[in-house]
Homo-oligomer: A and B are copies of this chain.
Amino acid sequence: MDHIIKAIHKYQSFAISSHRNPDGDSIGSCIALGLALKKLGKSVTYIMDDIPQKFEFLDEVKNFKVDASEHFDVVVCLDCSNIAHLHNSQDLSNGDLIINIDHHISNTNYGGLNYIDSVASATGEIIYELICKLSIPIDKDMAVALYVAVVTDTGNFKYSNVTYKTHAIVSELYKISDIYWKINTIIFDQNSYEGMKIIGKSLENLYLTHENRISVIALSLEDLKEYDNVDLEGIINYARDIKGVEVAVFAKEVEPNLFRVSFRANGDYDVSTLATIYGGGGHSKAAGCTIRGNSLKDIMNDITHNIAKDLQ
């Protein structure tokens, strides 16, 4: 961390990027750090694309760029465990130094300087500490960005990754602003009509199997045809949050006979091992893979059979 602080003071131009399909933690962390660096008089370029619409209320999003060809002293990669996941790994070659800050235990230490804290619930927690160590006062915009980072990566303070430090940081953020309940509503409770309808369709398709220990939601292209741009990200939670369910499976057909499959575990079952069978990966509680096949039903049967083999 001290080396990173020295590098920040030493260099002038910074690009900040994160993984593709950025989530609240990557967007919030990038913005908080970007605003902090600007307070130090640094030049900051955000390189990030495909921002979910619900995060567009963050003012700084309008400064996000899809690409950058200029040279930077430093490229800072946040919340990105592997170079292959970076929004645009080409950008790395534009920097003299890569700083890699992340909370994923699987981080490959691809930076010139690496700071990985796998106990942090979100990269936002690390950025909070970095900003404090840089002695930069946290203003309202930075506080909201950090809140977004932490609240999204902890599932609104629900997940087992939450620690005393998470709440201690958020307590400090509440001393700076009082609009978090509005932010929370924007992130978690402002659904679209189409989003609600596809949840309804998903729950219609929901079924339990193997003594109700496995839940499945599968959506075919036919099911999805009226819902082109609808965010399906949280739907697997409806399958996971059923009493007695140990593993939840969510599958969507992304093109004919190609299925994107997600897994969630409630108990001790490790879904990352399961995902590996199908060439995917992830964490023990959340993983995914892509499967090609003719029949959604056969694929689901194969998956649930593989899960059931390992359920105690």
Contact = CB atoms under 8 A, between A and B. Distances in A.
Interface of A: 156-160, 162-168, 170-172, 174-175, 178, 180-181, 184-185, 188-193, 196-197, 199-204, 206, 208, 212, 237-238, 240-243, 266
A73 B146 CA distance: 49
A89 to B, nearest CB: 34
Majority-rule SS of A interface residues: helix
Tell me how many chains of this kind the complex includes. 2
Contacts of A242: 190-193, 196
A291 B197 CA distance: 27
Most chain B CB within a 10 A radius of its CB, from A157, A190, A206: A157
A238 B197 CA distance: 10
A196 B192 contact: no
Given A203-B196, A206-B197, A242-B191, A167 B170 contact: yes
Contact of A158 (B159, B175, B181, B200): B181
A204 to B, nearest CB: 5
Given A157-B184, A162-B180, A164-B172, 9 more contacts: A156-B157, A156-B158, A162-B181, A165-B171, A168-B171, A191-B238, A196-B238, A199-B200, A204-B204
